[in-house]
A and B are shown apart, each in its own frame.
Chain A
Amino acid sequence: MTRIFDTELPFPTLAHQALGDAQLRANLAHATTTIRDKRLRVVGELDDWERLRDAGAAIKDYSLDHLDELCVELEKNVVAHGGVVHWARDAAEANHIVVELVQSLGVDSVVKVKSMATAEIELNVALERHGITAYETDLAELIVQLGDDLPSHILVPAIHKNRSQIRQIFLDEMGKSGMPAPDDLTNDPAALAAAARAHLRQRFLSAKVAISGANFVIADTGALVVVESEGNGRMCLTLPETLISVVGIEKVLPNWQSLEVFMQLLPRSSTGERMNPYTSIFTGATPGNGPSNFHLVLIDNGRSSALAEVDGRDVLRCIRCSACLNVCPVYERTGGHSYGNPYPGPIGAVLVPQLRRGQRTPLEDSLPYASSLCGACYEACPVKIDIPKILVRLRSEIVDEKRRSKPHDPELVTMRILEKGFSSARLFQRVVALGGLIGRLPLRTLRFLPPPLNRWSASRDAPLPPTTSFRSWFADTHRDDNLTTATPSTSNDPLVHRHDAVHDATPGHVGIDLAGREGVLSSIATALGNPRRHSSLPAQRDYTVHGSLDASTRRALLKDRLVDYRTNVVECDDAALSATINALLVAHGSSSVATPADIPAAWLDSVQAQVHRDDPVLTVRDLDGIDSSLTGCAVAIAQTGTIILDSGVLQGRRALSLVPDHLIMVIRDEQIVEVVPEGVARLAPDSPQTWISGPSATSDIELERIEGVHGPRTLDVVLVTARHNL
């Protein structure tokens, strides 16, 4: 049975368990420290980082302010490309849609790409209830699923496990649901990743239906963008006949160009990489080059009601990078399970109460207090969500709720008494004077305080109040004119009568009473209000949009960045290309190589390995039996070491560069650009794309990058340049 979170326990109770687990705390401290350093390093490389953050926030604000229009535009473009769009108002509707789709296809298992949306709606439980097994394929999700555990991090759900714990789970559990782990499995992360590859390989090659989420969906092209590392995403998005993508409505971006911002913000904030190893981008159904059937399930599930709040709209900017978790001192000590839901950390503490607006469980009421308001999250957030400010507002809502309930909560009563005390200098002085009496006790510190302050003194001493106050010292040493005694007039208080009105206006639930599509769209429209907040896309892109390096420096930068992510790079001129390719194949020990149908014969003249042109089309099984593949590319981005295929000339189908374990990519000088915006501008927005930055890799074991999971484990790049430039 898939485990789900219990919302009856409040944060402090859950945290108590975590704080007592020394191993967990050591694992979390190690992982979060690693990722923090990585993030700071790669963010520091960009001098336009702050401008990118501003642009990211502005684009998201625009998208949210126009969410209904953009969702309809997205739908139109997905449908135009052969996809089917479903709308779900809540988790139950979304699960129902997915279960029916899977059942109609007559399969009893699906492969899944890690997705927060499906975790949020507890899709796996719903599938299980209908006899459908969902196999998680992301390494960390696999660890959680095999270990019958709960996720504890947005990016790395198994962050609470270290390598030796992961090894044990693999040894104990893998054999029960597929290929077992090898008996001699070590806790070397590369060996663990290899075990995951072997365990899932046949499942990928034979899967009929895959389920994914998406990081972004682009309204003006209908494209889905899935950002990942290991290649499990590519397997799921490319090989099965049917793909079902479950996506929150807030993931919509207005246009293709927006990606130039988010593809810089997300990887650097998330895994602390210049670019993640793989990104898949495709629109609708892509028969012959991906799934023949594509279903997009757009889910509301509380988003439209969050949209009704100004702060809630800020929360919906979130791109699920998890930078806020990684820098949060509370998260580091309590771990993700203490937050009682799949969205932990600072963003979870603001997102969950917004999505479940109107529900009052002990967990939801405790989440806004699960923060010291230190502000590290706001500082790290790539889309500038002011999480501390929103936490404070959510606390205010909880307090306002307390004001309405009788008898009054003891905390409310205490805080009101304190306010009265602070409202009168005389009363306040009496309390200070009383403290002075305690200060005369023959003690050095106070070790015991009455409730609720005993929660302080259980572990902390309290200082003894002073016997002489500042006020008496100041009065003794200063002339009277330094003392001003003006009394504030509190009688004419504008707040007193206005507050009740404010309470009445406190927005609650936005009702949804229509069906499916119309229901979601009308909820959004209601939430956006009338008149709508006016916002427009930034008129100027004030981050870097053009590089400044000359061609040879640009090539050197690309080479440097490729090598940094363990890509083997060789340079040659046209005359030597075929021999160079052959040498790479020989070095890898390949006896066969797959190529797109349009690879020129000149590339292959010297190749000794058996060449399999993708014409007639190679099956997945064919590709699995071929050692290497060879492609050109559409564009290469030097700054991030990213090579992009957009299914154009010399690039072939997506599966070609995915299934064989060794990939050779040929890049020409004129295909190299310096920065991400230049790369995005060169691509065909609605043709299927694969962005590749290094060999397949994972950061799922202790947040260290390890090369080699489901995609090609070896990546060779040939930079072809004119002879005089060599």
Chain B
Amino acid sequence: MKVALFITCVNDGLFPNTPRAVVEVLERLGHQVVFPTQQTCCGQMHLNAGYRQEGLHLAQRFREIFNDYDVIVSPSASCVGTVRDLYATSARSIGEDSLADDLDAVGHRTYEFSEFLTDVLKVTDVGASFHHTVAYHPTCHSLRVLGLDDSPKTLLRHVEGLRLVDVDHENECCGFGGMFSIKNAETSVAMGRDKLAHVRATRAEVLCALDNSCLTHIGGLASRAKSGIKLMHLAEILASSREYS
């Protein structure tokens, strides 16, 4: 299958290993990955912060770049949630119904990476090997916008050597929330510290999720607290194989 990769601006700027892992897993499974180089940001931050106009410009830009592809895959639940849900909602809120329909059309072809594996490719074992104790944090957009409940964990359970541990109150938000982390920094940090405490209580070596943005927030607190826990996107764990782990 030919897959267009949307890596997201956060990964473009800060976490190149995540999209690289996506490419490796998909190619290992025999799929062709193409990378439209004009891509930048989906506009999530603008749309969520109330900058509808700017966000919808970026939405249109996204559509023009990805419109020719049948399948678009991205390693970020919140960006996929934006493309699939927020684009059309935002367009409709200003009466741009036909734009909303166009954006919906591309949104329906855009998949979060783990969702693409389990729901489209119907794969649960990607041949990964990772000998560590791992905690999984279901990010809000993966859970409540995309409805990805158990499938990411199923992927993790099939990784050789991986021990998956449960986190208390796992469905609770980590407190990142995009601009919320700046505008309401103190509340955001209070939420994040509680999340980190629940994660640390599991004694997991690695915390993984489907959104690097949330992991940056939790990881920033972990690093400041010198907690030693490693933050990894789920794709990076799935890319780990005997050859290079």
| CB within 8 Å of B: which A448-503 residues | 452-453, 455-456, 458-463, 465-466, 468-471, 473-474, 478, 481-490, 493-495, 498-499, 502
**Nearest CB of chain B from residue A71's CB, rounded to whole Å:** 29
**Nearest CB of chain B from residue A702's CB, rounded to whole Å:** 19
Q: Give me 11 other A-B pairs in contact (C-beta within 8 A), A392-B48, A419-B46, A485-B37 excluded.
A: A372-B191, A399-B51, A425-B37, A452-B182, A453-B182, A455-B182, A471-B35, A474-B20, A483-B37, A486-B65, A490-B64
Interface size class of A (residues with CB under 8 A): 35 or more
**CB < 8 Å neighbour of A482 from B12, B13, B35, B181:** B35
- B-side binding surface: helix, strand, loop or mixed? helix
Residue B161 interfacial (CB < 8 Å):
no
Binds B, one of A375-383, A582-590, A670-678, A682-690: A375-383
Q: Find out whether the CB atom of A460 lies under 8 angstroms from the CB atom of B220.
A: yes
Can you sample 29 A-B contacts with CB below 8 Å?
Answer: A12-B184, A329-B173, A329-B175, A333-B187, A333-B194, A370-B187, A371-B177, A372-B177, A372-B178, A373-B140, A373-B177, A373-B180, A392-B90, A393-B93, A419-B54, A419-B58, A428-B12, A432-B12, A455-B182, A456-B220, A459-B185, A459-B189, A459-B224, A460-B223, A471-B37, A474-B19, A478-B35, A485-B37, A499-B53
Residue A639 interfacial (CB < 8 Å):
no
**Nearest CB of chain B from residue A152's CB, rounded to whole Å:** 16
Q: Find out whether the CB atom of A395 lies under 8 angstroms from the CB atom of B49.
A: yes
**Nearest CB of chain A from residue B106's CB, rounded to whole Å:** 12
**Nearest CB of chain B from residue A473's CB, rounded to whole Å:** 6
Given A375-B145, A378-B144, A459-B224, the answer on whether A425 and B38 have CB atoms closer than 8 Å is yes
B101-140 vs A, CB cutoff 8 Å, 1 = contact: the mask equals 0000000000000000000000000000000000000001
**CB < 8 Å neighbour of A399 from B45, B49, B143:** B49
Residue A621 interfacial (CB < 8 Å):
no
Query: CA A455 – CA B187 in complex, angstroms?
Result: 12
A411-433 vs B, CB cutoff 8 Å, 1 = contact: the mask equals 01001101101111100100110
Q: Find out whether the CB atom of B173 lies under 8 angstroms from the CB atom of A485.
A: no
| CB within 8 Å of B: which A354-392 residues | 368-376, 378-379, 389, 392
By a CB distance below 8 angstroms, the chain A residues around B49 are: 395, 399, 415
Residue A11 interfacial (CB < 8 Å):
yes
Residue A552 interfacial (CB < 8 Å):
no
Query: CA A494 – CA B52 in complex, angstroms?
Result: 14
B166-200 vs A, CB cutoff 8 Å, 1 = contact: the mask equals 00000111011111111111111111101000000
By a CB distance below 8 angstroms, the chain B residues around A471 are: 12, 35, 37
Q: Which of B68, B89, B223 has the most CB of A within 10 A?
A: B223
Residue B97 interfacial (CB < 8 Å):
no
Q: Find out whether the CB atom of B61 lies under 8 angstroms from the CB atom of A473.
A: no
By a CB distance below 8 angstroms, the chain A residues around B180 are: 369, 371-373
By a CB distance below 8 angstroms, the chain A residues around B184 are: 11-12, 15, 330, 369-370
Query: CA A397 – CA B23 in complex, angstroms?
Result: 40
Residue B9 interfacial (CB < 8 Å):
yes
Given A372-B176, A372-B177, A488-B65, the answer on whether A423 and B16 have CB atoms closer than 8 Å is no
**Nearest CB of chain A from residue B72's CB, rounded to whole Å:** 12
Given A425-B39, A466-B16, the answer on whether A461 and B224 have CB atoms closer than 8 Å is yes
B193: nearest chain-A partner, CB-CB: A459
Residues of B at the A interface (CB closer than 8 Å) are 4, 7, 9, 11-17, 19-20, 23, 32-41, 43, 45-54, 56-58, 60-61, 64-65, 68, 86, 89-90, 93-96, 99, 140-141, 143-145, 171-173, 175-192, 194, 216-217, 219-221, 223-224
Residue A334 interfacial (CB < 8 Å):
yes
Query: CA A415 – CA B183 in complex, angstroms?
Result: 14
- A-side binding surface: helix, strand, loop or mixed? helix
A474: nearest chain-B partner, CB-CB: B35
Query: CA A379 – CA B143 in complex, angstroms?
Result: 11
Residue A435 interfacial (CB < 8 Å):
yes
Q: Which of A368, A421, A428, A490 has the most CB of B within 10 A?
A: A428
Q: Which of A419, A432, A489 has the most CB of B within 10 A?
A: A419
By a CB distance below 8 angstroms, the chain A residues around B192 are: 460
**Nearest CB of chain B from residue A269's CB, rounded to whole Å:** 18
Given A399-B49, A419-B58, A425-B40, the answer on whether A374 and B173 have CB atoms closer than 8 Å is yes
Q: Which 8 A-B pairs have the closest CB atoms?
A: A372-B177, A395-B50, A460-B220, A488-B64, A374-B173, A470-B16, A375-B144, A419-B54
Q: Find out whether the CB atom of A16 lies under 8 angstroms from the CB atom of B186.
A: yes
Q: Find out whether the CB atom of A470 lies under 8 angstroms from the CB atom of B37.
A: no
| CB within 8 Å of B: which A434-458 residues | 435, 445, 447, 452-453, 455-456, 458
By a CB distance below 8 angstroms, the chain A residues around B57 are: 419, 423, 490, 493, 495
Query: CA A485 – CA B68 in complex, angstroms?
Result: 12
By a CB distance below 8 angstroms, the chain B residues around A84 are: none
Query: CA A445 – CA B39 in complex, angstroms?
Result: 27
By a CB distance below 8 angstroms, the chain B residues around A453 are: 182
Residue A618 interfacial (CB < 8 Å):
no
By a CB distance below 8 angstroms, the chain B residues around A379 are: 144
Query: CA A418 – CA B179 in complex, angstroms?
Result: 13
Q: Find out whether the CB atom of B48 lies under 8 angstroms from the CB atom of A373.
A: yes
By a CB distance below 8 angstroms, the chain B residues around A428 are: 9, 12, 40-41
**Nearest CB of chain B from residue A141's CB, rounded to whole Å:** 27
Residue A610 interfacial (CB < 8 Å):
no
Q: Find out whether the CB atom of A466 lies under 8 angstroms from the CB atom of B217.
A: no
By a CB distance below 8 angstroms, the chain A residues around B194 are: 333
| CB within 8 Å of B: which A321-370 residues | 329-330, 333-334, 368-370
Residue A536 interfacial (CB < 8 Å):
no
B212: nearest chain-A partner, CB-CB: A463
By a CB distance below 8 angstroms, the chain A residues around B41 are: 422, 428
Query: CA A389 – CA B36 in complex, angstroms?
Result: 30
Q: Find out whether the CB atom of A459 lies under 8 angstroms from the CB atom of B221.
A: yes
By a CB distance below 8 angstroms, the chain A residues around B43 are: 422
Q: Find out whether the CB atom of A15 lies under 8 angstroms from the CB atom of B34.
A: no
Q: Find out whether the CB atom of B186 lies under 8 angstroms from the CB atom of A469.
A: no
Q: Find out whether the CB atom of B50 lies under 8 angstroms from the CB atom of A399.
A: yes
Query: CA A88 – CA B33 in complex, angstroms?
Result: 64
Query: CA A103 – CA B20 in complex, angstroms?
Result: 76
